[in-house]
Amino acid sequence: MCALLEIDPITSNQTFLGRTLGLGDYYYKLALKVQECCVARRGRDGGVIKVKDVVSILAKKNLKATPSDISIALSKLSVLGASYRVVSVENEDYIFSVPGVLDEDVPKVVSLAQKTTPPGIGCVTVDMLCRTLSWDEARGKRVLNKMVGDGMCWVEKIGKEEAYWLWGVWWSDKDKS
Residues spanned by the domain of 66: 16-96
In terms of Cβ atoms closer than 10 Å to its own Cβ (0-12, 13-18, 19+), residue 110 is buried
The domain that contains 121 carries what CATH number?
Answer: 1.10.10.10
Asked, for residue 166, whether it belongs to a domain, the answer is yes
Residues 165 and 139 in one domain: yes
Report whether pLDDT(93) > 80.
yes
Residue 1 lies in a domain: no
Three-class secondary structure of residue 143 per DSSP: helix
Share of the chain above pLDDT 90, in %: 35
pLDDT digits (tens, 9 = 90+) for 118-171: 666 788 999 999 999 999 999 999 999 988 988 888 999 988 889 999 877 776
pLDDT of 82 reads 66
Computed over every residue of the chain, the mean pLDDT equals 81
One domain, residues 79 and 60? yes
For residue 133, tell me if it sits in a domain: yes
| pLDDT of 59 higher than 90 | yes
Domain count along the chain: 2
